[in-house]
Amino acid sequence: MKKTVLAFSRITPEMIERLQQDFEVIVPNPRQGDINAQFNEALPHAHGLIGVGRKLGRAQLDGAGKLEVVSSVSVGYDNYDVDYFNERGIMLTNTPDVLTESTADLAFALLMSSARRVAELDAWTKAGQWKASVGAPLFGCDVHGKTLGIVGLGNIGAAIARRGRLGFNMPIIYSGNSRKTALEQELGAQLRSLDQLLAEADFVCLVVPLSEKTRHLISHRELGLMKSSAILVNISRGPVVDEPALIEALQTQRIRGAGLDVYEREPLAESPLFQLSNAVTLPHIGSATHETREAMANRALDNLRSALLGQRPQDLVNPQVWKG
Ligand code: DGY
């Protein structure tokens, strides 16, 4: 008998067809009523889940007695209670690598947009405000040659650092748990403590995963260490930054600006950030290109197939549960 897969988001009809070759596939459909109710109804039958954007832990998965694997269409896995997965022997997989370059592109788009006031001046031009040559109050700041501080020099951090170093001649400094000697040689990157990095960088780019250690890594004290001319870019997870503290730093111009793709609560609604011309706010689109989302979905699908067909998945987050 075929195993059952519950595909709850980011999976295209073509991918559903591919899954149907090996599995019974349930896809909650908004036209057939409440999505959450359909999800919960299907859960006890599911051997595998594939999708993204749901918190999954004890409370949600208690009734999922047959569950063997959750294949997340994301690199981040902070939505999942990994300890609980381990306790139950449920495999968790993610989609690293395939989104590295697109996410680094977006970090740079935010950095450039904040520095050169792209979003702000686009809105200004379209509002018919361009009556004469733009003067100093609307000038931005240079990017090339400025110091780029990367907090978390993993794969995505390294891709951002390469753009900065090779494309914009930026000195690279980084902070993190371990020394990256290869990148130090390749890019001349230099290790700093977080406090030193904050004090020295013209652009601070956050690329750390969310964990209890990184929650509110950047709060009042840390923002207070940054140069008043500096720009903060966050493409990691919203809770890495204490958002009210950041809003205050932007309102008082304690720092020059921020480029944000992620927030403490998503979707972002009714935020004081909307009133701030020195904040660029994007709707969590780090990996949102056609090519990358397709590659992520395919990778997630391969992980799910392997897990349910008895092969070790390529991107197993919790290898300790592998029984192969
Ligand atoms: C990820 O893959 O973790 C991105 O944030 C997209 O959800």
Q: What is the pTM of this model?
A: 0.95
67 and 116 fall within a common domain: no
Of 102, 188, 105, nearest in space to 147 by CA: 188
Q: Is 237 a catalytic residue?
A: yes
User: Of the listed 117, 192, 237, 299, which one is catalytic?
Assistant: 237
Residues 66 and 189 in one domain: no
Residue 299 and residue 198 share a domain: no
pLDDT per residue over 101-147, tens digit each? 999 999 999 999 999 999 999 999 999 999 999 999 999 999 999 99
Classified as helix, coil or strand, 218 is strand
Q: Please, are residues 82 and 92 in contact by the beta-carbon 8 Å criterion?
A: yes
Give the pLDDT score at 174. 98
Alpha carbon distance 124, 204 (integer Å): 26
89 and 221 share one domain: no
Kindly state whether residues 195 and 312 are assigned to the same domain.
Answer: no
- Taking only the tens place, the pLDDT of each residue in 250-309 is 999 999 999 999 999 999 999 999 999 999 999 999 999 999 999 999 999 999 999 999
Per the structure, the complete domain to which residue 230 belongs is given by 100-281
Number of domain units in the chain: 2
Question: Are 115 and 43 part of one and the same domain?
Answer: no
pLDDT in tens, 69-98: 999 999 999 999 999 999 999 999 999 999
Same domain membership, residue 118 and residue 46:
no
Question: For this structure, is 284 an active site residue?
Answer: yes
C-alpha closest to that of 158 among 211, 210, 207, 95? 207
- Co-location of 128 and 32 in the same domain: no
pLDDT band at 64 (very low <50, low <70, confident <90, very high): very high
Do 224 and 235 sit in the same domain of this protein? Answer: yes
Give the per-residue pLDDT at 253.
98
Convert the pLDDT of each residue in 160-185 to its tens digit: 999 999 999 999 999 999 999 999 99
Cα of 75 vs centre of ligand 1, distance in Å, is: 5
| Domain shared by 125 and 242, yes or no | yes
Specify whether 34 is located in the same domain as 106.
no
Answer yes or no: do 90 and 226 share one domain: no
Q: Where residue 30 sits, what CATH number does that domain have?
A: 3.40.50.720
Model pLDDT, residue 262 = 98
Residue 153 scores a pLDDT above 90: yes
Q: Which of 19, 75, 25 is nearest to 45 (CA)?
A: 25
Nearest CA to ligand 1 atom 7: 74
The residue whose CA has the least distance to atom 4 of ligand 1 is: 74
Answer yes or no: is pLDDT of 10 > 90. no
In the predicted structure, residue 324 carries a pLDDT above the cut 90: no
